[in-house]
């Protein structure tokens, strides 16, 4: 039977990669770990000194968030010094992915999970890579693991909903998108409305 679902153009794009921001000083998951840090607002291109109190990983993260090309080498330094290795590999994977080095990105996220098998961001980012490569089964696996580790992170439920919709798992897709809507503001929840409508119509036509 032909696939019923048609993605509305405005909701077909998934949420993008997420950096690891915890570092060695933060031991438990916190909502702030996944927020947007605007440390360099209005200072683009400014030369700065990194205070010595920062760890190698924290220095790398500061460079990364200011779009400094030295971030990659800084993450490698953090890894070599054993500082927040899982986080550093995760963020290095994002840098590799954004420069088109998909194989290296897969390798980095996998190495991150070898360091910490429950590393939320690496599971989430692997889900994104597998989704982009068309492997819906592995994308679903990593999104589901990420959702178990950190169920309050809304975007993982949205991306999981997209994967389930593509896989014609319409009922589960509706559940994932409704979870997303329950975790975001009314304004943000609109992003899922058209896709939910398509899924619900598909469910009706299946019966």
Q: How many helices (H) and strands (E) does the chain have?
A: 9, 0
Residue 43, pLDDT > 90, answer no
Sorted by sequence, the CB contacts under 8 Å of residue 162 that are 6+ apart come out as 12, 14, 131, 173, 195
Residue among 202, 197, 206 at smallest CA distance from 10: 197
pLDDT in tens, 86-143: 999 999 999 999 999 999 999 999 999 999 999 999 999 999 999 999 999 999 999 9
How many CB atoms sit inside 10 A of residue 75's CB? 30
Distances from the Cα of 37 to the Cαs of 12, 21, 66, 126, in angstroms?
A: 27, 10, 10, 23
Residue 131 has a pLDDT of 95
Strand positions, DSSP E, 102-189: none
Residue 204 has a pLDDT of 76
What pTM, to 2 d.p., does this model score? 0.81
Residue 3, pLDDT > 80, answer no
Separation between Cα atoms, residue 183 and residue 111, nearest integer Å:
31
Torsion sign across C-alpha atoms 60, 78, 92, 14: negative
What are the sequence ranges of the domains in the chain?
A: 52-117, 136-207
Token output for 177: 């998108």
Mean of pLDDT over the chain: 84
CATH topology of domain 136-207: 1.25.40
The pLDDT confidence band at residue 199, using thresholds 50, 70 and 90, is: confident
Phi-psi region of 61 (alpha: psi -120 to 50; beta: other; left: phi over 0): alpha
Residue 179, pLDDT > 80, answer yes
CATH number, domain 52-117: 1.25.40.10
Residue 136 in contact with residue 168, Cβ under 8 Å? no
């Amino acid at each position: 039977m032909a696939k019923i679902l048609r993605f509305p153009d405005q909701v077909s794009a998934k949420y993008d990669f997420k950096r690891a921001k915890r570092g060695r000083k933060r031991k438990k998951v916190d909502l702030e770990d996944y927020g947007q840090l605007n440390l360099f607002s209005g200072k683009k291109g400014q030369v700065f000194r990194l205070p010595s109190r920062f760890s190698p990983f924290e220095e790398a993260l500061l460079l990364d968030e200011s779009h400094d090309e030295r971030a990659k080498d800084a993450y490698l330094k953090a890894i070599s010094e054993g500082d927040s290795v899982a986080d550093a590999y995760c963020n290095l994977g994002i840098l590799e992915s954004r420069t088109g080095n998909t194989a290296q990105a897969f390798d980095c996220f996998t190495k991150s999970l070898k360091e910490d098998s429950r590393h939320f961001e690496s599971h989430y980012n692997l889900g994104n890579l597998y989704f982009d490569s068309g492997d819906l089964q592995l994308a679903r696996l990593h999104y589901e693991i990420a959702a178990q580790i950190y169920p309050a992170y809304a975007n993982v439920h949205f991306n999981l909903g997209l994967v389930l919709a593509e896989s014609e798992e319409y009922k589960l897709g509706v559940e994932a998108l409704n979870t997303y809507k329950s975790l975001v503001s009314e304004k943000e929840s609109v992003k899922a409305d058209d896709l939910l409508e398509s899924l619900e119509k598909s469910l009706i036509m299946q019966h």
